[in-house]
Structure 1
Amino acid sequence: MYSVTDIQLFVLTADLGSLSKAARQLDLVPATASASLKRMEVHLNTRLFVRSTRSLRLTPEGTLFLEYGRQALILLNQGEALLRSDGEIKGHLRLSMPADVGRNILLPWLNAFQKTYPKVTLALQFSDRIIDLFSAPIDVAFRYGKLDDSSLISQPLAASRRVAVASPAYITEHGAPATPKELVNHNCLLFYLERGLFNNWRFHSGKNAIDIKVRGDRMTDDAAIARGWAIAGLGIAYKSWLDVREDLAEGKLVTLLDNYVGEETPLNMVYPDRSSASPVVRALLIFLRERFFALGIPIDRNG
């Protein structure tokens, strides 16, 4: 079996393109370094490097294993850091989240999280726009829907779907649509998402998808405002059930088109790569999952 030093040497050799340079950085004699790589290759039953007198390069198998080696070292370093801090959860997190679920669900829980872990500091950004986690100063984002960027790490938090909602007062005055197509005869409350104005509403009836392009006299870049407009009786909104669940329970809003299924909007916790999953990020994930579970909201494992 190979050791942590063997993995360190393998990763450093790949990065430097030289076994001798990697050995010097780790204070190993050349013979020990050569034996280290040989030990790994024997254990893995594959060649990790193609060697010549002038060059050294990764084999396809070595390239595949390199990422796992990096992640193993990152996790070990994080574990060591946690133990050195006596298991204390601390640090600074910059979080981005959709405005509605952020203010109404996540914010009170984040306050409770900081009360549980008083050495954690948080910087919060509320936005319905998609943040580029590779360029923006954000550590973790909360996002609705299926993740398009496979290079990001997505941790599911809660299952949800979009629902068409309106206030009882709106329905009394304007009636309720019986089919998605009848939405064109109603004032629909619109908001902007990453691809622009969200005015194409999708429903499902069995295996059939129904796309309706809706119109309305109100548009906003804050989906929480669209929810407020709906509560005020100004039109129909198409919102994640998580955003409006309390309004539905209190009778401020009612669901429409109950014979049709809205598009899935699972809520996920997203970060750039596994190295971003520091102890405080892992603690936050566990903390939030426990709260969603307590509400009886299942985790969307396919999110």
Structure 2
Amino acid sequence: MESLANLECFVRSAEAGGFSGAARRLGLTPAAVSRNVAHLERNLGVRLFHRSTRSLTLTETGERFLLALRDDLAGVQAAIAAVAGGDQPAGVLRVSMSLTFGADVVLPLLPEFLARYPLVRPDWRFENRQVDLVAEGYDAAIGGGFDLPVGFVARPLAPAHIVAVASPSLLEGRALPSHPAELSGWSGVVMRSDTTGRIREWTFRNPAGEEAPARLAQSVVVNDPAAVRQAARLGLGVAMLAMPDVVADLATGRLVRLAPRWWADAGAISIYYSSRAQLPAKTRAFVDHVVEQFRRERLADRFDGSLG
């Protein structure tokens, strides 16, 4: 009987496209993962991977073996976890989310979650990108504006509404813009996409259904919403940010909303995860907890830019 460790190292290496990626997911060294896969190949008497200095690809036999093994391995792991933990959510919980939204909104939900599920150990990554849950070994991710592949579930949490904000110091002695067209004469803090290299521009709308472009001068260019927010706080220019990133600053007066009856709709902020049949108890518990907390605290309403 082949060891579960060898089988898991093979599956994770195939999913990650290398031993290093599998090692990060499994908490092992790349050498240990490579050794376990080599043991599996020796025990089976077949070669599962083509190896080179730059790549790791499945052989035809390896592809057939992965297809036959992947779902069964997930079932075995779920069964082991259920027996060991008595169906109690347990283990490392790897989640990806943006820095500002994660630290300001999701992290405060963690104490209650851990009090309820003390056997879960969070391992969270704060990053402003869409991750590959399977290849990178994440249990779940939170974000917006992502195109999810087939086989993934996205549970909406709140609208992703973009609003224009500025610091009181920048606004001092000046008339506040009431229409997106009036923003063009202001210095702007804008964000350049790491993926496309482009500056994102928004079309705003109002409750009457009217639309208008909202363009800013590119006075300061950064590549992360956290930096955009901080630059706006410092009075470096007008910024366009998601409501969850600025709602606390708007409440305290650290930032002021401009053209307050206008916003841009960037879709929804969702928590997404694999729809596989054997979803780990830790992942299910986390998803349900986040969804319930958003409902209980009425966070979707707080982040709704259409409310003015």
TM-score in terms of structure 2 length: 0.64
Q: CA deviation at 1:139?
A: 2.6
Give the AA of the match of 2:190. Answer: L
CA contact (8 A) 1:163 1:241 kept: yes
Identity %: 27
Q: Deviations over 1:108-167 (max 9, x none)?
A: 22344234322111222111122233433333111123x423523211222341111112
Distance 1:266 1:197 in 2: 22
Q: Structure 2 residue aligned with 1:278, among 277, 280, 305?
A: 280
Q: Structure 2 residue aligned with 1:238, among 237, 240, 259?
A: 240
Q: Match of 1:23?
A: none
CA contact (8 A) 1:204 1:210 kept: yes
CA contact (8 A) 1:162 1:265 kept: no
Distance 1:80 1:247, change over 3 A: same
Q: Match of 1:156?
A: 156
Q: Which runs of 5+ in 2 are unaligned?
A: 1-69, 304-308
Q: Does 1:200 align with 2:201?
A: yes
CA contact (8 A) 2:167 2:232 kept: yes
Distance 2:174 2:277 in 1: 53
Secondary structure of residue in 2 paired with 1:211: strand
Q: Match of 2:289?
A: 287
Distance 2:93 2:295 in 1: 23
Q: CA deviation at 1:214?
A: 2.9
CA contact (8 A) 1:158 1:268 kept: yes
CA contact (8 A) 1:139 1:271 kept: yes
Q: Match of 1:254?
A: 256
Q: Match of 2:144?
A: 144
Across the aligned residues of Structure 1 and Structure 2, the Cα RMSD in angstroms comes to: 3.1
Q: Match of 1:20?
A: none
Distance 1:222 1:165 in 2: 16
Distance 1:202 1:276 in 2: 42
Q: Match of 2:62?
A: none
Aligned pairs for 1:179-218 (under 5 A) are 179-193=179-193, 194-205=195-206, 206-218=208-220
Distance 1:175 1:79 in 2: 64
Give the AA of the match of 1:85. Answer: G
Q: CA deviation at 1:203?
A: 0.6
Q: Match of 2:37?
A: none
Give the AA of the match of 1:187. Answer: S
Aligned pairs for 1:11-90 (under 5 A) are 78=78, 82=82, 85-90=85-90
Q: Deviations over 1:58-80 (max 9, x none)?
A: xxxxxxxxxxxx99xx8999589
Distance 1:286 1:225, change over 3 A: same
CA contact (8 A) 2:165 2:257 kept: yes
Secondary structure of residue in 2 paired with 1:109: helix
CA contact (8 A) 2:163 2:262 kept: no
Q: Deviations over 1:239-271 (max 9, x none)?
A: 111111111111111211123232144221112
Q: Match of 2:167?
A: 167
Distance 1:81 1:141 in 2: 22
Q: CA deviation at 1:293?
A: 2.3
Q: Rg: which structure is higher?
A: 1
TM-score in terms of structure 1 length: 0.65
Distance 1:298 1:189 in 2: 26
Distance 1:181 1:143 in 2: 29
Q: Which runs of 5+ in 1 are unaligned?
A: 1-69
Secondary structure of residue in 2 paired with 1:169: helix
Secondary structure of residue in 1 paired with 2:218: coil
